Structure 1
Amino acid sequence: MKRLLALPLLSLSLSLHAAIPAAPTLEASSYALLDYDSGELLAASNPDQRVGPASITKVMTAYVVLEEIRQGRMKLEDTAFVSEKAWRQGIDSSESRMFVQVGTRVPLEALLHGVITQSGNDASVVLAEHVAGSEEAFAELMNQQAARIGMKNTHFANAPGMPDPQHYSTARDLTLLGRALIQSFPEQYKWFALPDYTYNGITQPNRNLLLKKDPSVDGIKTGHTSEAGYCLLASAQRDGRRLISAVMGTKSWAYREQASLELLNWGFRFFESAQLLGPTKPAGTVKVWKGAAGEVQVGTLKPVAITLPRGEAARVQASWQQEGEAIAPFAAGQKLGTLTLTLDGKLLRTEPLVALQDVGKGGFWRRLIDTIRLWFA
C-alpha cells in the first residue's frame, strides 16, 4: 500500500536546487561546513583529507572525560594528581599550558576548563592519566569514542594533540565531533564560549577570537602546530539554527578566523533547515488488525531534519509504503513501512515509518473476526 503525503518539504540534494553562489574560496588545506540539525555537509574542500588536528584534539579529550563523568565513573569535583610527565608537558609547551604544579591535585572541573579555554597540554595529560592510567590507554578511549561518533578517518595517539604520524583527523570528522559534543553535553558545551579562565593566579584568554567578533559564535576550539598550520573548529547559532565549520591548515591565526566566519556567513545566508515529521507530526494512519485499536498513527519517532537553499519553493513529495499488515500487539517504534522523500522524481532520502503508539491485543471476538477477514484480504 503506497500513499502520497502533501508535506511542506524541500530538497536535500543541492544539485537539484536553483543556483546559489559558490562557497567561499579559502586558502586552507581542507574545510567542511555542517548543518547541525540535519548532519548534512553544505560545503567542503578535501573534507576527508587526513590532517593534524593539533589542539582541536582537546575537544575529544574533554569529550572522553565528560562521558566518564556521565557514566558515573567519576565526578567533576574529583581531583587528579599532576605527574612529572604532565607537568613537563606544560613546561615544554610555553604557550599551551595551564600552569599546574607537579605533585599537586587539581579538580577535574578546573582541568577541563584548563583544556577547553587555556588549551593546556599539561591539563590534557593530567586528565588522560587520571581517567586511563596512561596517555596511551587514554588514546584508546579516544579512538573508541571516535568510532562510535562515526569519525571514519581519525586516529588519536595522544591527549593534547602533539604531532605524531598516527595522530590525524579530517575536516569532516571534526565537524562530526563538534556535533556530538553539543548533542551529548549541552550544559558543559557552554564552557567553550567562556572568554577566559583563571588558575593558579594566572588568567588566560580563550584563543578562539571569533567569540569576540561574532556574538552568534559559541565555540569550539583552535589548534596550531608547525605541521598542521592554523586550524579552527567553530560553531555558531543564529535564529535557532546551528552550523559547525572546520577550517584546517591556514597560514595565520587571523586568517583561520576570517575563513571560518566567511564559511559560516555563507551557510546561514543561503541555506535553511526544517524539522519535519516526528512523534507529534504523524505521516498518517494505518489499519490495525486484531488490536485494541482499529488504527495507529505512523511516522518517525524523531524529527526528520532537512537542509535546503533559503527561499526554495516547497516541491518535495513525501510518500510511504506500508510493509505487510499491522497485526497487534506491537509497541511504538515498530517499523511498519518506509517513508520516501523525492524531488522531481529523484530520490532524496528514505526513513523507517514506525508506529507512534503502542497497540495492545484486542479481545477474543475482535481477533477472531480479523483472522477471518485476513483470509480474504
Structure 2
Amino acid sequence: MTLRSTSRAAAFAALTSAFLVTLGAGFASAQTPAAKPATAAPATPAAALPPASDSLPVPPPPQIQGTAWVLIDAVSGNILASHNPDLRVEPASITKVMTSYVIAAELKGGKVKDTDQVMMTENAWRKGGAATDGSYSGFAVNQTAPLVEMEKGMVVQSGNDAAIALAEHVAGSEDAFAALMNQYAARIGLKNSHFVNPHGLSQENHYSTAHDLALLGRALIHDFPVAYSYNKIKELKVGPITQPNRNLLLWRDNTVDGIKTGHHSKAGYCLMASALRGDQRLISVVMGSTSEAQRATDSQALLNWGFRFYETHKLYDTSKVIAQQKVWKGQTAQVQLGVAEPLLVTVPRGKYAQLKPSMDVPKSLVAPIKKGQAIGTVKVMLDGKVIAQRPLVAMAAVEEGGFFKRLWDEFWMWWESE
C-alpha cells in the first residue's frame, strides 16, 4: 500500500469512527453511498422504422416560378429546400404577419386589449380603404370596431385600412408602429428585414427575405397560436360585405391552416403557407410568382414534396424521464431529468434509425435543486451534426438534506475528487 493510500484510508477510518460515535453504527452504515451511477444516455427513439424503400436519397424539390422561395421545418426552423432565400424582396401584404405578431405581443404585455374599440380613422380609410386600388376591410370611416374584429379584417381580407387603424391604435402612428415592428423582428431573429409600414404597400426601405418571412410565420405559430388561428378563416363579413380569404390552399388542402398572401406590381404574387400533418408542420414562402393560381400551385407542390420526403418524430415528451442523476447533500439521492417542451426532430425519410441522442450533464449536482431547473442538455445528432437540442430540466425538486447528510456527502465528494 502506498503512502497516499495509507493516508486516505486513515482519513476515512477517522471520519467513520467519528460518525459511529456520534450517530451509532446503524446510521453510519445506512448513509454509506452506493457507487456513483454512470450518466444515463437517452433511450433510442422507439417508433417503427420507415420502409426500406424510403432510405433512397431525397430527390430535388419541384420547379417553382418565383424570384425567391423557401421551405422550412417549423420545429427546428431548418431549411429543407430553397432558392434565393436571403434575397431582399418586397414582402407586400405578407407584412401583415409582422403586424399581427406585434399586436399579439402588445396584447400579451397588457398594452392593449382585444376588446379595445379601434377607430377607422380618415387617414386609415383614405390610405387603405375601398377608394384605393388595394385590399380593404370594409369597416366604416370614423366608426369603431373591437380590436379583435379589426384584426380579422386585416388578416382574412388583407385590409390595408385595418392595418393602418390598428397601427394607430397600438402605437399612435404608423411610424411609431413600424419602429415596434423592427424591434420585434430583431427579437425574433430576422436578420434581413426592415419595415416602414404595417400593410406592405410598396415603400422605400421596406423589405424582407423568403427565409426571414418563413421564420416570422414560425414565430407567430409558436408564440401566439390564437392570433395565428385567424389565418384559417375562409371568409369574413363586415357590414353588408363578405370577402373571402385569398389563400386558395385553404380550400384545396384541409391540412393547410394559413398563412398570408401578398401582391402588388413590384412584389409580384406572394404566398406564405403552412400545413400540419400529424406532428409535422412545414412552412413555405413563395415570392415574386406570376399569378394567384401559380403561387398556390407552387406552394402546394413544395408542401407535398416536404411531407413526402421528410418526417417528424417526437423523441421525448414532457412527461418522459430521460435520465436520473446523482445529487449530493439532498434529501433524496437522485434527480429525474426530462424536457420542458416536447423534443421533435424532422429528418429525411429513412434516416430515423441513424439518430444519435446524447446528454451533457454536470459531473456533480448539489442540492437544493428546484423543479424545472435547467441541468445540462440533451442533443440529437445525424450524420455528425446536431439537428436538435433542448435543456434538460429537473422534473421534481430536491430539497437540501440535514446537517449530517451534508457533512457525510461533503466527505465523499472530497474522496471521489482525489
Cα deviation, residue 135, structure 1: 0.4
Picking from 235, 245, 268, the partner of 1:229 is: 268
Matches within 5 A, 1:262-281: 262-281=301-320
Q: Deviations over 1:39-83 (max 9, x none)?
A: 222111111111111001111212222322233332222212222
Moved more, 328-337 or 18-27: 328-337
Which string of whole-angstrom CA distances, capped at 9 and with x for unpartnered residues, describes residues 159-179 of structure 1? 110112211111111112212
Q: Distance in 2 between matches of 1:99 and 1:196?
A: 13
Which structure's relative contact order is higher, taking Cα pairs within 8 Å and 6+ residues apart?
A: 1
Greater share of helix: 2
Q: CA deviation at 1:148?
A: 1.6
Q: Which residue number corresponds to residue 84 of structure 1?
A: 122
Q: What is the CA-CA distance between 1:182 and the residue it aligns to?
A: 1.8
Q: CA deviation at 1:340?
A: 3.6
Does residue 8 (structure 1) correspond to residue 45 (structure 2)? The answer is: yes
Give distance in 1, aligned partners of 2:383 and 2:175: 52
Aligned to 2:85: 47
Change (3 A) 1:348 1:38: closer
User: TM-score, structure 2 length as denominator?
Assistant: 0.83
- Superposed CA RMSD in Å reads 2.1
Partner of 1:25: 63
The reply on whether 1:366 has 2:416 as its aligned counterpart is no
What displacement does 1:28 show? 1.1
Residue 192 of structure 1 pairs with residue 196 of structure 2: no
Residue 186 of structure 1, CA deviation: 2.1
Distance 1:185 1:103 in 2: 30
- Which of 42, 53, 62 is residue 100 of structure 2 equivalent to? 62
* Secondary structure of residue in 1 paired with 2:353: coil
Question: Counterparts of 2:245 and 2:213 in 1: how far apart (Å)?
Answer: 19
Tell me if structure 1 keeps the 8 A contact 2:70–2:83.
Answer: yes
How many equivalent residue pairs?
371
Q: Is the 8 A contact 1:279 1:356 kept in 2?
A: no
Instruction: Say yes or no: does 1:162 pair with 2:201.
Output: yes
Structure 1 110/352 Cα, relative in aligned 2: closer, same or farther at 3 Å? closer
In the TM superposition, residue 30 of structure 1 has moved relative to its aligned partner by 1.1
Greater strand share, 1 or 2? 1
**Aligned 8 A contact 1:38 1:304 in 2:** no
Contact 2:345 2:388 in 1 (8 A): no
Q: Which runs of structure 2 are paired with 1:1-377 in the superposition (5 Å)?
A: 4-8=41-45, 18-89=56-127, 90-91=129-130, 93-343=132-382, 345=384, 347-377=386-416
Q: Deviations over 1:63-111 (max 9, x none)?
A: 2223222333322222122222111112453341123333222222221
CA distance in 2: counterparts of 1:192 and 1:344, whole angstroms: 37
**Structure 1 spans left out of the alignment, 5+ residues:** 11-16
Q: TM-score, normalised by structure 1?
A: 0.91
1:320–1:76 Cα change, 3 Å: closer
Q: Which moved more, 1:187-196 or 1:333-342?
A: 333-342
**Corresponding position of 1:14:** none
Structure 1 runs of 4+ aligned residues shifted over 6 Å read: none
Q: Distance in 2 between matches of 1:274 and 1:255?
A: 32
CA contact (8 A) 2:345 2:387 kept: no
Q: Equivalent pairs: percent with the same residue?
A: 48
